Amino acid sequence: MRTTETHSVIVQDMDIYPEADAVPPPLTSADLAKSLHLSEERLVSLLSSAEKSYNRFPLKCGRRRPRWIEAPNPFLKHVQRCLLDKILYTVVPHPSAHGFQPGRSIVSNARMHSCREWVLSMDMKDFFPTTDIHMVEKMLQEHFNFTQETIEAILRLTCRRNALPQGAPTSPHLANLVFMEGDRRLTAMAIEHGMTYTRYADDMTFSGDTLPEDIEEQVELIAQEAGYRISRHKTRRMGQHQCQKVTGLVVNEGVRLPRGKRRRLRAILNDVRKNGMDAALARSGFRSADELSGHLALARMVGTVQ
């Protein structure tokens, strides 16, 4: 009798809390359209035109070869941003990833490596173009509860020419999620050797009191097994006796802007105070007030320019 009563209580509890162990249904294409504030017809139309909704142009990066940017048109960019904020951000990348994540920056990345005897910087080649549509599809299947139809819709919204376009707001987060297993393996390898590992987009950094002699080979193997290549000519080992730079910031003692940049920004600020923004901007070498403001905001984050 007691067993029957217990069984009855369990059944009653299951009726009261039916959702306790229930797995939510997968996100359908209709759910996707609703989340993006689109009708199903408008979503279908956008999917058919997305591939052609980009403006491709070169971006000069100093003396290096230009980087090709594929910028989505305003409407597609708006939808991608909505997709990122409402759906894709529900899965977070590995803690070692600092690029394009809320509350993280090149400053948080650099701080992880300050005051270390040795710093190693390595760069993945063509990070976004190498992240192809099959890698993104596999990641979506593993980390999200989507129907296959929804996955195919998201791939058409976020990929171009079968890869992540450099210029879409969704590309950095998707690439971070694709490389999550690589980040996990690199973190484990770093911990095993008493080092710290972080990554900002394609820029990987390791630091510690010592560096294993074959660490570059170990990193390259893990990157290759994840589907990526290393730009060997960008690999740098930096001891305390050298200027140690991590994502453009000097980390020998704390985190600082490079000396030349600090002096330049101080001079521009003095010019602004004496002669006004327009006159100072014309002499600054920056293309716009927004570009200058971005550099000054970084300086304030680091705390080296007043």
Is the model more confident about 22 or about 55? 55
CA distance 203 to 246: 9
CA distance 26 to 150: 9
Q: Is 147 helix (H, G, I), strand (E, B) or coil?
A: coil
293 has pLDDT over 90: no
Q: What is the pLDDT of residue 20?
A: 42
Give the pLDDT mean for 267-285: 83
In this prediction, residue 304 has a pLDDT band, given cuts at 50, 70 and 90, of: low
Cβ 47 vs Cβ 154: under 8 Å: no
37-44: Cβ within 8 A, 24+ apart: 37/82, 38/79, 43/153
Cβ 198 vs Cβ 98: under 8 Å: yes
Closest CA to 124 of 167, 63, 170, 176: 176
Phi, psi of 91 (to 5 degrees): -110, 125
189 has pLDDT over 70: yes
Q: Is 231 helix (H, G, I), strand (E, B) or coil?
A: coil
What integer best gives the mean pLDDT of the chain? 88
Is the model more confident about 161 or about 280? 161
For the segment 18-32, what is each residue's pLDDT rounded down to a tens digit?
A: 444 455 788 999 999
Q: Is 78 exposed, middle or buried (0-12, 13-18, 19+ CB in 10 A)?
A: middle
Q: What is the pLDDT of residue 1?
A: 44
Whole-model pTM over 0.95 = no
CA distance 302 to 306: 11
